[in-house]
Amino acid sequence: NNKLPPGNRHFIIEKNLAALIIHRADREQILDQYLRQQNRKTNTLRTWFNSILNGQFTEVSPGELVNYIKTNQIPYTIVDEVKKEETSFIPTEAEIEFLKDPELLELIDSEFDKKIVGEKESRLSIFINGCGKYVRNAKISSYNLCINSKSGAGKDHVTKNVLKIFPSSDVNIRSRISPTTLTYWHAGEKDWTWNGKILSLLDISNTVLNCDAFKLFLSDGTFSTVVIDQKAQDIEVKGKPVVFVTTASASPNNEALRRLPFLELDETIDQTKAIKKAQAVAAANGISLKYDKTITEALSKLQHVKVKIPFAEDLVDEFPDEHLIMRTHFSRLLDYIKASAALFQYQRDIDEDGFVIASTKDYDIARIPLKKTTSNPMMIPLSQKQKTLLAECKKLGRFSAKQIAPHAPFVATSKVYDALNKLQENGFLSSELEEKDSSIRPVRMYQYVAFEIKDIPTWNDICRKKGNKGSKENKEIRKNKGIKDFLEVNHDSMISPISPISGFVY
């Protein structure tokens, strides 16, 4: 918190500060605060981090710090005891080995088999969105997801069991929450922030889905205005969580649709059979499998990081431009890439500014949630009701609102025109007025617009299309085989941030 005395060399402080914070969970926050306070334009501790990791020194030097403090007459206090939980941020050898495993995502997916039957793409999509909690420079509205399937499909079961792999202290799950409760949740708590947290609302109602308070959790809003004792008061929502909602009968308005990609679970007969079989096996054996503690603990040691995507420009021409929603969805794709890079931060390069550098593998991983939530070439999010209505429109080909109504009992009669107009606005239907002998007024006839969903290209597909290896920057990043100058720690030489000098506070 203090500006270092003028005229003094900073190497003593920076050398020992690097040793103290290198494995701390709040390393980036401490580093940012230090660099701002000292008016540093670049990360001057990076050289010391590398020296530690190369074994040039591994411990804090109490003598150097004591002499520095005495020479500059800096007030300090000594803490008698160090709380046990302060060591919880240090990754163990097993956790480091896990986080450095090239098959990291596959190992996590295998772990989901303990609690979830099938649903490979769905559970990975939820997990990758959840990893957005580790990204510090994502667009605020990117990490939102609605799991929208029929009642009994297992939406809540899948969502809850994916989120159980994250630190429980960072996951907030509620069922049937009200707009009022959502508005006042953690309001007034001085040190509370939603940043780095996950919010999961199960079986959410349309009232909550479309209320103003919920919009703040989906976007970059800060204040919700409520009336208390006939006076308008602002309630502050601090930070932005990763948001998951589950619903069987959602009717989101256009604003919510833009901010919430929709994901459907497997509702096939084969999936039902597989679930029944798994339930029978569990009942016969009388066991309940738990996630490997090494995995859940390792994920709790990941840092909140900033990410750069050196090959981002190579993706621009690969996705459609026809609809404004792509301004949101392309940004979401980039942030999915960042979420993957944050998960693999122990295997990615770090630049001189402290950014994790995404690799093209992160793009291929980002395809998973993007593909799972894409139901049309324009990548416009559609609820399950809209998809079902569109399927009925396809069967009829050409029809009036009156003709489609019997085929869509899930849409209220008074809402049929609105539902069809929404589909037309997004380019799925066309319409024209037509004279009918049976009607005094012209009848609006709708026409289904045929489209083909093309697979989202892999990175290899993009390279083949371009006839090269992508941008110059990406040629280098394709060589990325993991961190060599950051957190490549030999466990035997790993320094402990809890040393005698850690009791000094000034």
3-state secondary structure 84-112: HHHHCCCCCHHHHHHHCCCCHHHHHHHHH
- CA 91, CA 86: separation in Å to the nearest integer? 12
Q: Compute the average pLDDT of residues 495-501.
A: 30
Q: What is the pLDDT of residues 281-293, one digit of tens each?
A: 877 877 667 888 8
How many C-beta atoms lie closer than 10 Å to residue 237's C-beta?
20
Angle at 332 between CA 29 and CA 103, to 5 degrees: 75
Identify the pLDDT of residue 486: 34
pLDDT: is 221 or 496 the higher one?
221
Give the residue with greater pLDDT, 299 vs 34: 299
Residue 365: CB atoms within 10 A of its CB come to 22
Which pair of structure tokens corresponds to residue 263?
């994901």
Stretch 454-459: mean pLDDT? 77
Report the pLDDT value the prediction gives residue 86, as an integer from 0 to 100. 46
Report the percent of the chain where pLDDT is more than 70. 75
Name the one residue in this structure whose structure tokens are 């085989």. Answer: 481
Convert the pLDDT of each residue in 40-88 to its tens digit.
777 777 777 777 766 666 667 777 777 777 777 666 665 555 444 444 5
484/490 Cα distance (integer angstroms): 12
Residue 103 pLDDT class (50, 70, 90 cuts):
very high
pLDDT for 147-159, tens place per residue?
887 777 788 889 9
Of 70-84, 253-267, 402-416, minimum mean pLDDT range: 70-84
pLDDT of residue 105: 94
Q: What is the pLDDT of residues 160-183, one digit of tens each?
A: 999 999 988 889 888 877 777 777
Q: Residue 93 is which amino acid? A: E
- Cβ partners under 8 Å of residue 205, min gap 6: 176, 247
Instruction: Report helix, strand and coil shares of the chain as percent, to nearest 5.
Output: 45, 10, 40
Residue 136 pLDDT exceeds 80: yes
Query: Which regions of 158-197 does DSSP assign to beta strands (E)?
Result: 171-175
Choosing among 1.10.10.10, 1.10.150.130, 3.40.50.1110, 3.30.1180.10, the CATH entry for 384-448 is 1.10.10.10
Q: Kindly list the distances between the CA atom of residue 287 and the CA atoms of 109, 114, 115, 117, 332, in Å, as whole numbers in the listed order.
A: 20, 11, 11, 15, 39
Looking at residue 467, its pLDDT comes to: 72
Band of pLDDT at residue 130, cut at 50, 70 and 90: very high
d(C-alpha 1, C-alpha 429), whole Å: 61
Q: Which residue has the higher pLDDT, 95 or 379?
A: 95
What is the pLDDT at residue 434? 84
pLDDT tens-digit profile of 324-359? 445 667 888 899 999 999 999 989 988 878 889 999
CA distance to 53, 494, 504, per residue, from 18 (Å): 11, 13, 15
Domain residue spans in the chain? 11-94+491-505, 101-298, 305-374+456-477, 384-448
Report pTM: 0.67
Phi, psi of 71 (to 5 degrees): -60, -40
Q: pLDDT grade, residue 33 (50/70/90)? A: confident
Residue 339: the pLDDT is 95
Task: Check residue 18 and give its pLDDT.
Answer: 80
Chain centre distance of CA 372: 15
Q: Is 138 exposed, middle or buried (0-12, 13-18, 19+ CB in 10 A)?
A: buried
- Residue 210: partners with Cβ closer than 8 Å, 6 or more residues away: 252, 253, 255, 256
Cα separation, 175 vs 246, whole angstroms: 10
Strands 356-357 and 144-148: unpaired
The per-residue pLDDT for 471 is 47
Q: With contact defined as beta carbons under 8 Å apart, do 152 and 272 qualify?
A: no
**pLDDT averaged over every residue in the chain:** 76
CATH class for the region spanning 101-298: alpha beta
- According to DSSP, the β-strands at 443-448 and 398-400 are antiparallel
DSSP states along 280-336: HHHHHHT------HHHHHHHHTPPPB-EE-TTGGGGGGGS--SSTTHHHHHHHHHHH
At residue 506, the pLDDT reads: 26
For residue 75, the SS3 value is: coil
pLDDT average, residue stretch 468-475: 48
